Amino acid sequence: MTLTTNRYGVVTPTARQLNGLAISTPIYLSLTTDQTKKVLNAFREAKTKQLLENGWDSSDTPPKTKVEEELGMNEENLRHSLFTRQGIPERLLVKLQRLTGVELVTREQIEETYSQWLDHLWS
Compute the half-sphere exposure of residue 34: CA atoms within 13 Å on the CB side of its CA.
1
Q: pLDDT averaged over the chain?
A: 92
**What confidence score (pLDDT) does residue 62 get?**
86
Q: Does the structure show a pLDDT above 90 at 13?
A: no
**What confidence score (pLDDT) does residue 44 get?**
97
Name, in order, each residue with C-beta under 8 angstroms of 84's C-beta and a sequence gap of 6 or more: none
Mean pLDDT of 2-11: 88
| pLDDT per position as a tens digit, 54-101 | 888 777 788 899 999 999 999 999 999 999 888 999 999 999 999 999
Describe the crossing of helices 33-53 and 90-100 by its angle, rounded to 10 degrees: 50
Q: Cα Rg for the chain, rounded, in angstroms? A: 18
pTM for the structure as a whole: 0.83
**What confidence score (pLDDT) does residue 26 get?**
80
| pLDDT per position as a tens digit, 19-54 | 989 998 888 999 999 999 999 999 999 999 999 998
**What confidence score (pLDDT) does residue 72 get?**
94
